[in-house]
Amino acid sequence: MATLALDGGAARAQITPLANTADTVVPQQPHTNIDATVDTIADSNIARTNDQSAQLRGLEKADVRFTPSLKTDLYRAFGQTYVSLTASGGYDVNVRNSTLNSERIAAMVGAGSQLGPCATSGYAGYNRQQSDLVDLIVLTQGGRESVRNTQTLYWVSGTIACGATYGLRPLAIGGYAEGRNSSLSRIGGDYRATTYGGGLEYLHPAIGRVRLYYAERDIDFFRRDGVAYQGSPRLVSRAGTLSFERDIGAALGGHVALTYADVRARGPNPASSFNGLLWEAGLTLKASRRIKVTFDTGRSVDPSQGFNVDYISRENYGAGVTYALSERSSFLIQWLHNNLRYHYSDTATVVPVYRRTSDGFDGTFKIAASRRLSFSVYAGYLKTSSENSMYNFDSVHGGLTATVRLK
């Protein structure tokens, strides 16, 4: 299905943001689901650029993409230990732009356990796919090979908190992420990121979960040798975070994390440093038996595989409404707004963009034709603007996803 994410959709989801380093796996009902799906999407601008840039990249703007895939969703509990798995494997086939044909693989394993007085949780993941072209900076040397890039990400993250079940207890966090590009013209964006820190956690059934912690994140752009690949070779972030999460019955739940961060690039001619407030917040309201409303917002600083930058600072605001028409059908409408700023230390081989905004709308109708067969029909619109017209575009898309439950 389509996504409204701009600049990092799949990629960002795998890089632990500063405000999210203490995420945990949420307990669920035990289940094992295996699905076979076929997604078909028609997009008026799969190139994600204007006419001039699409021609430079050697692409047809309008295209249709088919993605057959197999998906697994599993959750098991063993006493005080639980394990979850979500995974999918498929292949993208583009009718007009075969250069973009690629495997699409994603997997994440989560786990949690009570080990004596210590509660532990964590996850590990892997993602591999053709880069969404909205995430690839335009190179001065264009052509189709400039857009053919398979991005691979893998990551691990964990937390441990020791003490009484309720009350105040110490907390430690850690994580590692690595991103790689297949295109030789883009491996300057390859990176390794290590996150570590600690603090305090307070948990109470009437209050919720409160965390106060300090974390450092070291990002090594290990391909940037100053000869073949330019840019700052290292990015260092130091941050303090206060987070709160609470569910009020079954109708209302939310979380908020406020982070004060200092981010600095290391190396010759580094990009300007960032010093300020980051945040992440979300709210879910079940307004009635049929209606669910969600709100979310965030501000983060992240590396990028597809842009030759030291880092990207971004703000996002989103909302969605789900309406259950019946037990078998529902309708979802979403809105997402993004503000992005790109921070470079070298622009010799790229067509730079410094600021970009986007607005997207998406609607999805889901229906279960039977216990094993379901369909999703969706349509949406995405528009971006910046100071560089090569990155300004709009696109209309629509598609159909058919799903067969195998187990």
Q: Could you report the per-residue pLDDT of 159-182, keeping only the tens digit for each?
A: 999 998 899 999 999 999 999 999
For range 128-146, the mean pLDDT: 84
- Secondary structure element (H or E) that encloses residue 12, with its range: helix 9-13
pLDDT band at 56 (very low <50, low <70, confident <90, very high): confident
Q: Which residue has the tokens 């290391």?
A: 266
* Residue, of 232 and 291, whose pLDDT is higher: 291
pLDDT at 297: 96
pLDDT at 1: 53
* Residue, of 53 and 403, whose pLDDT is higher: 403
Residue 331's nearest CA partner among 373, 294, 377, 295 is 377
Assess whether pLDDT exceeds 70 at residue 6.
Answer: no
Planar angle of CA 203, 209, 212, nearest 5 degrees: 95
All domains of the chain, ordered by start, with CATH?
9-405 (2.40.160)
Contact residues for 402 (Cβ-Cβ < 8 A; gap 6+): 37, 38, 373, 374, 375
pLDDT at 242: 95
pLDDT band at 27 (very low <50, low <70, confident <90, very high): low
Q: Are 351 and 137 in contact (CB under 8 A)?
A: yes
- Secondary structure element (H or E) that encloses residue 72, with its range: strand 63-78
Residue-averaged pLDDT of the chain = 88
Could you tell me the end-to-end alpha-carbon distance of the chain, in angstroms, rounded to an integer? Answer: 21
Side chain identity at residue 139, one-letter code? L
pLDDT band at 368 (very low <50, low <70, confident <90, very high): very high
For range 287-305, the mean pLDDT: 92
Q: Which two tokens stand for residue 86?
A: 């979500």
pLDDT at 21: 40
Query: Residue 234, SS3?
Result: strand
Strands (E), 144-233: 150-162, 167-181, 191-204, 208-220
Assess whether pLDDT exceeds 90 at residue 299.
Answer: yes
Q: What percent of the chain has pLDDT over 90?
A: 66
Assess whether pLDDT exceeds 60 at residue 4.
Answer: no
Assess whether pLDDT exceeds 50 at residue 22.
Answer: no
The CA distances from residue 78 to 47, 81, 407, in Å, are: 47, 5, 21
